[in-house]
Amino acid sequence: MFPRIAEFGPLVLYTYGLLMSVGFLTGILWTIRMARREGIGADEIWGIGLLVMVSAIIGAKLFLVFFEWRYYLANPREIFTLDTLRSGGVFLGGLLAAIGASIVYFRRKGLPGWKLSDCFAPGIAIGHAIGRLGCFAAGCCFGAACHLPWAVTFTDPVAHQIVGVPLHIPLHPTQLYELLAEASLFLFLNWKAKTKRFDGQLILLYAILYSGIRFFLDFFRGEVQSVLGADILTNSQLLCLVAFPLLSWQYFRLRRQAGR
């Protein structure tokens, strides 16, 4: 669609990068709003937010290399190329890395991890929704060919060059599907926060529901790749199959401990 906003000589302002930054800032500001209700200061949220951002970027790249290990094993130098570094990577990989880094940080600092994580849940949803708008502008995470009335057709050669999106072919707007899903999760989590029964409820609800949504939406994605070599389920769907039962088990364990 519109992968570039402006060029300043050799410098290029990419729509994806701009919207990802806007999404991160929006998510942090909403998290601060949630944290104030719990008596948690903004400085703590900014520090955790920076940790989450860095660990998520690293995790997304590592999972990308892992899932496409055959290509990177044959072309190891590609790991450090601009195309790989510019790629968004695997979102679920970034989410898992951010969760892991946060758990370590919370334990070392003696912070109420589940309570803080709940503050982040709606912010993650709205930040990701804005980020998916950036994906739509860039053409990445594109859908499979279709002939539905709402199909989208990419025509910008730059988008094809950067992310490989097919040009002049009607595709499922999977980026917009996920944007709508994440926006709905944002509204749901804010509503649920008013009647929260136990710490950890919001972040686990987000992770459980997103796993189910992502598993379903990946059937409409344009590229089906499996680390196991079988082109049946995507890599993200395989992660969802593992994450969904584990997250559900943790949710019901915390609910039972809280006696609710």
- In tens, the pLDDT along 80-116 reads 655 555 555 667 777 778 878 888 888 888 888 899 8
Rounded distance between C-alpha atoms, residue 177 and residue 235, angstroms:
19
Q: Provide the number of structural domains found in the chain.
A: 1
**Residue corresponding to tokens 């094993």:** 73
Nearest to 47 by CA among 101, 85, 88: 101
**Contact indicator for 33, 189 with CB cutoff of 8 Å:** no
Q: Which residue has the higher pLDDT, 206 or 237?
A: 206
Q: Is the pLDDT of residue 51 over 70?
A: yes
pLDDT at 199: 92
Print the domain residue range for 38: 4-257
pLDDT at 258: 84
Question: How far is residue 103 from each of residues 30, 85, 109, 117, measured CA to CA in Å?
Answer: 21, 26, 10, 9
Q: At what angle do helices 201-217 and 174-193 cross, to 10 degrees?
A: 160
pLDDT at 245: 94
Rounded distance between C-alpha atoms, residue 119 and residue 247, angstroms:
18
pLDDT at 249: 95
